[in-house]
Amino acid sequence: MSDMNQARRIDMIARRILSGTARTLWRAVPLSSAAKDHVMGHVFRRAPILVSWSVTYRNWKLEEDRLRHYLANLKAVPANSVGGSAYRELSALGRPAKLAARAIAFYLPQFHPIEENDRWWGKGFTEWTNVRRARPQFEGHNQPRRPSELGYYDLLKNPAIRRRQARLADQYGLGGFCFYFYWFAGKRLLEAPVEAYATDDEITFPFCLCWANENWSRRWDGREDDVLMAQAHSEDDDLAFIAHLATYLKNPKYIRIGNRPLLLVYRPGLLPDARATADRWREWCRRNGIGEIYLAYTQSFETVDPSEYGFDAAIEFPPNNLGLEPVENLVEPVSDAFACHIYDWSKLVERSADYPEVPYRLFRGVTPQWDNTARRMNQSAILWGSSPGQYELWLRRAAAQVTQDFRDAQERLVFINAWNEWAEGAYLEPDAQNGYAWLDATRRALLPPKVQERVEPAQLVPLEPTVQATRARKIIIVVHDLHRHGAQYLALSFAAMLRQQFGYEIITVACGEGELGSNFSVYGRLIQLNQKARSPERVRALLNELHDQGFEKAIVNSAASGWISPYLAEVGIAFVGLVHEMPVIIETMKLQPAIKAMDAHARRVIFAADMVRDQTADKILGSPWQRALIAPQGLYKREGIARLADKETAREKLCKQMNLPGTSVFVIGVGYGDYRKGVDIFCHWAVAAARENPDLHFVWIGDLSQEMRSVCDDILRDALDIASHVHLPGFRADTSLYYTAASAYALTSREDPYPSTALEAFDAGTPVLMIAGTGGIEDLSSSGAVTALPDASAGNFAEALQILLAAETAGAGPAQQALEMVRAKFGFQSFVGDVLRELGEPCPKVSVIVPNYNYARHLPHRLSTILSQSLPVWEIIFLDDASSDDSLHVAQQMLQNSPVRYRIISNDTNSGSVFAQWQKGVDLAEGDIVWIAEADDWAAREFVESAASAFSDSDVVLSYTQSNQVNEQGEIMCPHYLDYVSDVDAERWRRPFVNEGREELAEGLSVKNTIPNVSSVLFRRDALRRVLTAQMDDISTYRVAGDWCVYMHLAQLGRIAFDPRPLNYHRRHTESVTISRFGKAEWDEVKRMQDAVAAQVDLTDDIRAVAQHYLLTLSQRLEDEPT
C-alpha cells in the first residue's frame, strides 16, 4: 500500500471516529429534536468553518444546496407537463401548522356486524356488503369502489384501524370526526365503535356526535316506506337521550365551540317540538355539570333558521337540499335497465363562487363525491364529474366563506360529507382509484391564503427532479359493427381497459353501425368506416391520417373486420387480429377473403382455442396459419363469488324469488335462445334430468327466437307435469344471482367458439356440461370444471349431471376447480397485456409473488397497490405460509373480481423458510419478470413501470428503486436509505444507474446489503430461478442475509439497475433484526457475506476499509446490546 493511500485511510478513519464521538455527545444534549435542529442549522449557517470537517455538516450542506436546486428546477417545469392522473401517494408531511378553518368529516360507524342487520339484511352484513355488490351503470363508471390502505375493515375487530383513521385525518389537516349516533327510544345501534373511539387513550383526534333521528328504513333514505326501526319521541326520551350522551359530552376529545360541546341533530323537523327538546337538553346539561351546549342541525331536508328549533346554527349537507336537477345524456348506460339520476357535480362548485347570504349562523358543507350505486344499483343518484382538484376549490371557498362569516375562529367550521360513506361514494379514505388524492386535496384546500404547501421529502431524494417523459400510447380498435353482440362487447371492453388501466389514447374504427356507438365514444374517437360505402382511396387516406397522428398499432377484432388488413399493412400500421368465428359463420358471411388477408398481413392472429384455429385453417385457409397464437380471451365481466358458501345463500334466495321448494337445485343456460345456442337441446336435457331428480329446476336466461319459442313450447307440452321444472323467464339484466345459485351450467350450443357465459359460470363456481366438438371450452376438460358429453342425447346429460352433483356433495370439488381455474387463467387485464406484447408494445409480463405469514392487517395496502400499478401486472401469486390470522380471507376479499390472473396458495404447515417460499413462487410464475412483494410493504403507483423499464436492456437481471422507511402504523419515517449507505458512498444512490453486477459487488455489496428491501426489486425470472435452484443450499444457511446472498449470485449473471426515486415503502417492525434483535449470529452472517463477496471480485483497499469499519460499528452495537 502506498504512503498516500495509507495517509488517506488514516484520515478517513480519524474523521469517522471524530464524527461518531461528536454525534454521541450531541445526542446527549437535553434538547428536543426541533430545538436541536434549530441550533444546528444556526451554527452551520453562521460558523461553517468550525464544523466543515464533519460528515453531518457535509450532509446538511448537500441537502440545503439540493433543496434550492430542486425548487429552482421545479419552477422551470411547466405545470401541465406531468401526467394528469389524480392518484396521490401517502404524504410524508405532518399536519399543517396553520389552517384556514376547522374541517369536520361525517363518519359512518356501520362497518361491523350487529344482530339487527343480520336479521334484516343477512348474516354478517356491514356497509361493505353493499359496496362489494355494486356494478358499473354506465361506461367509465367507477364501481365497485375498492378501499386501499385500510381495506374492508371491521371497526370492532381491529382497534388499529380506528387509530390509523384518526392519524390520517389529523395528518391531512382535518379537525375532527362527527359520528352518526343511532338512538331509538333508548335502543342504540352501531354505538360500539363510537364508544371504543371515545375511550381509546391512544386516540387524541377530536370528535362530536350527530343524532341520526329519522326512522331506519329498508330504502336507506329515512322515508316511511318499510320501516325497520322507528323513532318514538317523548319528553322522557329527550332526557334519557341527553343523559346517555353526557359521558361523550364530557370527554376531553369532544369538539367544543367556546367551551360548549357541539351536538348535531340530523332532522330536527321530525321532533314533535324541537324547541322544547332543545330547552330540555340545555337545562339538563346546566344542572348536570356539562354547562352550555352548542346545537346545530344538518340541512338535509329543510333550510329553516336554526333559531326556530332553538338551535344555534345550521350546517349545509350536500348534495341534499341544494336544488340540483337531473341532467340527461351525461353518461352512456351499459344496460337498458338504467334508471339512475345523474347530476352535474360541477354546479355545486360553481355555486360556491358566490355563496348567498343567510340571516343565521350557517356552517358550510362540501362533499368530495357522491354515488349511491352500492345501495340503489340501477336506480342510484350520482353526482357526475367530481375530481380532487375541483373538490379542493370548493372546500377552499367554503373555508374562506366561514372565515368571512365568523369573527370567532372556533366557529369557523366546514363539514365534509363524508369520511367513510363508501356505499354512497362519499369518502376521503384512500382508495384503489385515487390513492390519497381526496385527503391531499383536503389539506391543500385548508391551508390559509399565501401559505405554500411544503415539498414532499421524497421529491428531494434524487439529485434532479424527475419528470418521466413517456411515449404517447395510441392504438386503433377495429370492430366490424356496433351491435350488441359478444365480439362487440369484447371490443368495447378492450377500449375501456386500454384507456383506463393502460393509459392509451383510443380510436375505434367501426365498419358498420349499431347501438353501441356512443358507448365506444366514451373511451375515444369513433370513426365510421363502412367497407361498402367507402372507396379504397378513402380508406387509405383515413388510415394514413391516423398513422401521421401517431396511431401505429391496431387490434382487428374478428374475422368480419379482416378486410381492412391490407390497408393497415400498406400504410405501416402493425396489427394483431382476433378470430372468434367458426367455419360455418365465416362461409355464411362470405368472410374467406378477409380471413386470408388477415393471415397474410397480421403480426399475429389470436385464437381462444385450438379448435377454432385448426378448423379455420383446414376449412377456410387450406393450410396452417402463418403466425397463430392460442390465448383465451379472459373474462371481462367479473361478478364472481368470494367463497363457495355464497352459492348456498344465492340458491336459497333464488328459491324464494321463484317460489320454489327450498330443496331445489338449479341448472342454467344463458344467451339468446336460437338454433345455434341449442335452447331446444336445453329443454330436452331438462325434461330427462328432472324426471330422474324432482329437485332439479332448469332456468334459461335470455330471450328466445320465434322459431325456438315454438319448438320449446312443443317439448314442454309433451313433458306434461315435468314442464314445471323448466323456466324460460327471458332476458335479465342481472344474471349474477342465477350463475351463483346454479349447481351446473348446461352449454347446449351446437357451435360456440369460446362463450364468455361459460367463463362467467366458472366465476360463480358453477361447472359446465357441454357437447364435445362444439367449442373451445372443451379444452378445459382436464381441469375438472368442464364435462364434455359424447353427443347431445338427454340420457347422457342426465347421467353426467348426477355424477357431477354427487361429486360436489362428496366434496370432490368441481365448483372449487372452476373457481380456481377462472382466477388463475382468465384475467382480462392479463389478456390485454398479452395482446399488447404481440403488438410490440412495452408491456412486460410481470409476475407478482406475495409471500405472507400473519400479515392480514397489512394485506389491503399491499394488494391494492399491486392492482393499482400504472403499468398493470400480469399475474399475482399469493403464497400463505400457514397463517393463523385471517390472511386468506383478506387476500380473497381484495383480489376477488380483479382483472388480473391470480392464485391463492396456502401451506398446511409453516415452511420455516421465506426463501423456500421465494423458490416456490418463482417456479409457479409464468412471467418474464418477477416481483417478490413482501406482504407488509407497499409500492408507489409508478414502481413497476419505472423499475421494469430497465429490462429493455437484455443484460439487466435486477432492477430496484429507493425505498421509504415506514413504521408499523404505516407512517413515513424517512423517504430513503441514504444514511444507511452513506458510509459506502454518499452520492451513488442519488442518481439512476445501470452497472455491471460485478461492479455493484465491488463497490457496494462487498460492504453490506445495499438493497435493504426485496420489495423494491424486480428480477429477470430466468436468472432468479437459476440462482435459487443452484444456490439454495448456500442461501438457506442464512437467517437474515439470505437476500444479500441471492443478490451476490445474481450480480454475477448480468447488470443491475437503480432508480433513486423512493417508489417502495418498506415497513420496519420494532421486533425486526435490524432494529431490536441484532446479535452475534447476525454479525457472523454479515462477516460471512463480506468474505463471500470478497472471494468473487477484487476489492480496493478503500472499500476493504469501509467494510472493516462497518463490522467494527456492528461490533460496538453488540457491546451496547443488553445481555
Closest CA to 852 of 828, 886, 879: 879
| In the predicted structure, residue 996 carries a pLDDT above the cut 90 | yes
* % residues pLDDT > 90 (the chain): 81
Nearest to 351 by CA among 397, 320, 314: 397
DSSP state of 188: E
pLDDT at residue number 42 = 63
Q: What is the pLDDT of residues 264-313, one digit of tens each?
A: 999 999 999 999 999 999 999 999 999 999 999 999 999 999 999 999 99
What is the reported pLDDT for 77?
34
Same fold yes or no, 645-825 and 842-1120:
no
pLDDT at position 31 over 80: no
- From the CB of residue 906, how many other CB atoms can be counted at a distance below 10 Å? 14
Q: Is the pLDDT of residue 734 over 50?
A: yes
Report residue 642's pLDDT band, with 50, 70 and 90 as the boundaries.
confident
DSSP secondary structure letter of residue 393: H
For the chain, the straight-line distance linking the first and the last C-alpha, in angstroms and rounded, comes to 40
pLDDT band at 468, cuts 50/70/90? low
pLDDT digits (tens, 9 = 90+) for 493-520: 999 999 999 999 999 999 999 999 999 9
Pairing status of strand 929-932 against strand 846-852: parallel
More confident residue, 814 or 48: 814
CA–CA distance, 68 with 397 (Å, rounded to integer): 32
Note the pLDDT tens digit of each residue in 322-332: 788 999 989 99
The answer on pLDDT for 652 being more than 90 is: yes
Assess whether pLDDT exceeds 60 at residue 76.
Answer: no
CA distances from 763 to 647, 682, 816, 824, 1014 (A): 11, 21, 10, 11, 33
Strand-by-strand arrangement of the 524-528 sheet: 524-528, 505-510, 474-479, 553-557, 574-579, 604-607, 628-630
Mean pLDDT of the chain: 91
pLDDT at 846 over 80: yes
Contact between 185 and 178 under an 8 Å Cβ cutoff? The reply is no
C-alpha 840/C-alpha 552 separation (Å) is 11
| 3-class DSSP assignment, residue 235 | helix
User: Among candidates 108, 835, 842, 871, which has minimal Cα distance to 425?
Assistant: 108
- pLDDT category at 217 given cuts 50, 70, 90 is confident
Query: Could you tell me if 897 and 643 are in contact, meaning their C-beta atoms sit under 8 angstroms apart?
Result: no
Q: What letter does residue 769 receive in the DSSP assignment?
A: E
Domain boundaries, the chain: 102-448, 474-603, 645-825, 842-1120
pLDDT for 579 equals 95
Q: Which of 389, 424, 434, 448 is nearest to 173 (CA)?
A: 448
As a whole number, mean pLDDT of residues 449-461 equals 85
Angstrom CA distances, 432 to 187, 559, 790, 823, 898, stand at 37, 37, 47, 20, 11
Reply yes or no on whether the pLDDT at 82 is more than 90. no
State the average pLDDT over residues 845-851: 98
Report pLDDT digits (tens) over 159-170: 999 999 999 999
Which pLDDT band, with edges at 50, 70 and 90, does 771 fall under? very high
pLDDT band at 222 (very low <50, low <70, confident <90, very high): very low
| Model confidence at 831: pLDDT above 70 | yes
Fold of 102-448: TIM Barrel (3.20.20)
What percent of the chain stands above pLDDT 70? 90
Record the cell numbers describing residue 926, joined without a space.
Answer: 409464468
pLDDT, tens digit, 9 for 90 and up, residues 182-209? 999 999 999 999 999 999 999 999 999 9
- Strand-strand pairing, 1055-1067 and 938-939: antiparallel
Question: Crossing angle of helices 887-895/859-867, nearest 10°?
Answer: 20
> Which residues, listed in sequence order, are joined to residue 298 by a DSSP beta bridge?
315
**pLDDT score at 70:** 43
> Cis (ω within 30 of 0) for the bond into 166?
no
DSSP per-residue letters across 945-1012: HHHHGGGGSTTEEEEEEEEEEE-TTS-EEES--HHHHTTT-SSGGGS-EEEEHHHHIIIIITTS-S--
Looking at per-residue pLDDT, the higher value among 62 and 1085 belongs to: 1085
CATH number for the domain formed by residue range(s) 842-1120 = 3.90.550.10
Is residue 926 predicted with pLDDT exceeding 70? yes
pLDDT confidence of residue 697: 98
pLDDT band at 484 (very low <50, low <70, confident <90, very high): confident
pLDDT on residue 132 = 93
Q: Any idea which architecture 474-603 has in CATH?
A: 3-Layer(aba) Sandwich (3.40)
Structure confidence at residue 954 (pLDDT):
97
Phi, then psi, of 908 in degrees rounded to 5: -75, -35
* Residue 34 confidence (pLDDT) above 50: no
Cα separation values, 333 from 161, 342, 1065, Å: 37, 11, 39
pLDDT, residue 810, reads 65
* Single pTM value for the model: 0.90
For β-strands 381-384 and 370-371, DSSP reports them as antiparallel
CATH code: domain 645-825 is: 3.40.50.2000
Kindly state the cell numbers that stand for 90. Answer: 401517502
- What residues contact 624, with CB distance under 8 A and at least 6 apart? 617
Q: Other C-beta atoms within 10 Å of 341: how many?
A: 14
Backbone angles phi, psi at 541, to 5 degrees: -65, -45
pLDDT for 733 beyond 80: no
